Chains A and B, each alone.
Chain A
């Protein structure tokens, strides 16, 4: 009973957090699933977004433009990863690690220090203050709406001619090229878009917690991956809609699972092992035959090298 009560008490906080982080999960899903470009850049573009957003707020930039500047910085980071993969034939994972490593120094340079409080600066969440909701519910409503809009816009985008072309690059890049699609442009644009989402999430988080920290990206990638696996296990990947919804559903469910672990008294230090176990179970499930029959994972995947 205590566990249940503790968990319920945590729901608003964890729900707000998970909605913010769903943008990072989206930033992991897009390269991995849509572009067949497994990418680790979000580990760097998330704190990049946070740091850029904090510095912009300190400089007096209003909260929404600050978020957009953060997203632009993330977009450039993603573009850089895609470019060094395409131009120098460096493996996508390695390209992402390189950019993430370099971003750490860049983030430190941007802020000039490791930690930047932004307690007194205006936040996007202030917009909803007339509703006089609690702090957590304010965030849930605002970020929830942003997530929903993002989901709907992505659904539209990927059914346009250009969006279809971008998906084709992930599905079969040689074939896409032979159909007149500029593979470089689609890849750089797509990975850039993912970087923008990750940095946007970083900006939202910074405005939510009231400070930016160069280490805020630590482990965000594995959490995002865990959330994605859970989302895909629940929804399957049979249609574009399900694939696009998986990051959001997965983020919410994953952080509730973590919250249950915390409520049950698991020391925070043990959370990483819990996360690892979640990912492992999700990845192992299809091979052990207790995943839904029609969850629909293609038999074989080929990624770019």
Chain B
């Protein structure tokens, strides 16, 4: 379960270009919720993700995961609960290390590193099996440095790494945006399969309204650092792409008027 309460984060506080990225944002996800996060550029989606992962500290407000207050917990301590896939395929993997070594690093999110052998035969077998679900043949390239993989392969690997160990919270920030349409589909399908099979509590940012309607059990629309709209159940089932886009235009009208 994830609970964000009155989250506030201001960039360049007190300067002419002050920017309120999160403006009293509150949000609760139940265990197993698959929330699709939408909103215009600069709405605060990535900032919210960063706040949940610990990469960014809040000025005010709190974040609880499974009832525990993690507001002040640094990234590496929060990693036990939170896994994420970034938009940039380069960010989620260690390029100079092999596929197997990257998988090992992901495994250490749950079980902090100890002074014992890393890549055991048993582990390699497990990694082979997990990677085979992708159907990309990565399972036969365990000892290949990740730098030799394509962006799509790297992103797929990041995904497998993120879902390994079944994190309490999975964060996906436009994780298919940098991929060509075919690869994006592949990674998205792998995502859906993993999230459904493992019942992961997930937040996925996307700019694709059709995806927002089709996948997940909730839609959360952010605007100017707040939740503008929340749809679930019946409402979500009935909503259409024009409905969603309508909410965007409200915002841009206001932006025009404000300007």
Query: Which residues of A approach B to under 8 Å, CB–CB?
Result: 159-165, 167-168, 171-172, 174-183, 298
A161-B104, A181-B105 as given contacts; A168 in contact with B119, CB under 8 Å: no
State whether the Cβ of B76 lies closer than 8 Å to any Cβ in chain A. yes
How many Å lie between the Cα of A165 and that of B55 in the bound state?
19
Can you list 17 A-B contacts (CB < 8 A)? A160-B113, A163-B118, A164-B97, A164-B113, A164-B119, A165-B105, A168-B105, A172-B94, A178-B53, A178-B55, A178-B75, A178-B92, A179-B108, A180-B76, A180-B109, A180-B112, A182-B76
Q: Is B153 an interface residue (CB 8 A)?
A: no
A51 CB → nearest B CB, Å: 32
B→A interface (CB under 8 Å): 53, 55, 75-77, 79-80, 83-84, 91-97, 101, 104-106, 108-110, 112-119, 147, 161
- Least CB distance, A89 to chain B, in whole angstroms: 16
Chain A residues, Cβ within 8 Å of B161: 179
Q: Nearest 9 pairs between A and B by C-beta?
A: A180-B79, A171-B94, A161-B113, A165-B113, A172-B94, A180-B109, A162-B113, A179-B105, A164-B118
* Contacts A171-B96, A179-B108; A160 near B76 (Cβ below 8 A): no
Interface of B is mostly: loop
- The reply to whether B105 and A176 form a contact with Cβ atoms under 8 Å apart is yes
Q: Across the interface, which residues of A come within 8 angstroms of B115, CB to CB?
A: 160-162
Chain B proximity of A265: nearest CB distance (Å): 43
Q: Is the CB of A161 within 8 A of B91?
A: no
**Taking CB as reference atom, which chain B residue is nearest A166?**
B113
Q: Which residues of A contact B108 (CB under 8 A)?
A: 161, 164-165, 179-181
B107 to chain A, nearest CB (A): 9
Chain B nearest CB from A236 CB (Å) reads 13
A178 to B115, alpha carbons, bound, how many Å? 20
Contacts of B93 in A (CB 8 A): 172, 175
**How distant is the Cα of A54 from the Cα of B115 in the complex, in angstroms?**
34
CA–CA, A181 to B78, complex, Å?
Answer: 10
Q: Are B95 and A177 in contact, CB atoms less than 8 angstroms apart?
A: no
Q: Which residues of B contact A167 (CB under 8 A)?
A: 94, 97, 101
A182 to B80, CA, bound (A): 12
In the complex, the answer to whether B118 meets A168 with C-beta atoms within 8 Å is no
Cα of A88 to Cα of B97 in the assembled complex, Å? 29
Q: Say whether A161 contacts B114, CB under 8 Å.
A: yes
**A182–B94 alpha-carbon span in the complex (Å):** 16
**Beta-carbon nearest neighbor of A159 in chain B:** B118
Residues of A within 8 A of B119 (CB): 159, 164
* CB proximity of A184 to chain B, nearest CB, Å: 9
Q: CA A158 – CA B83 in complex, angstroms?
A: 25
Q: Which residues of B contact A161 (CB under 8 A)?
A: 104, 108, 113-118
For B84, give its contact among A164, A178, A182 (CB under 8 Å): A178
Known: A165-B108, A175-B92, A176-B105. A160 touches B117 (CB 8 A): yes
Cα–Cα distance between A278 and B70 once the two chains are bound (Å): 53
A residues in contact with B53, CB < 8 Å: 178
Q: Known: A168-B94, A172-B95, A176-B94. Contact between A160 and B118, CB under 8 A?
A: yes
* B105 CB contacts on chain A under 8 angstroms: 164-165, 168, 175-176, 179, 181
Shortest beta-carbon distance from A47 to chain B in Å: 32
How close is A48's CB to chain B, nearest CB, in angstroms?
28
User: Which residue of the partner chain A has the closest CB to B104?
Assistant: A164
Which of chain B's residues have a CB closer than 8 A to the CB of A180?
76-77, 79-80, 108-110, 112
When distances are taken between beta carbons in the complex, the residues of chain A under 8 Å from B147 are: 298
Identity of the chain A residue whose Cβ is nearest the Cβ of B80 in the assembled complex: A180
A211 CA / B102 CA spacing, docked (Å)? 47
A165 and B77 alpha carbons, distance in the complex (Å):
14
Give min CB distance, A35 to chain B, whole Å: 12
Min CB distance A297 to B, Å, is 11
Nearest B residue to A185 via CB reads B76
> Known contacts A175-B94, A180-B112; can you find 19 more A-B pairs with CB under 8 A?
A161-B117, A164-B101, A164-B105, A165-B108, A171-B95, A171-B97, A172-B95, A177-B76, A177-B79, A178-B75, A178-B76, A178-B79, A178-B83, A180-B79, A181-B76, A181-B105, A181-B108, A181-B113, A298-B96
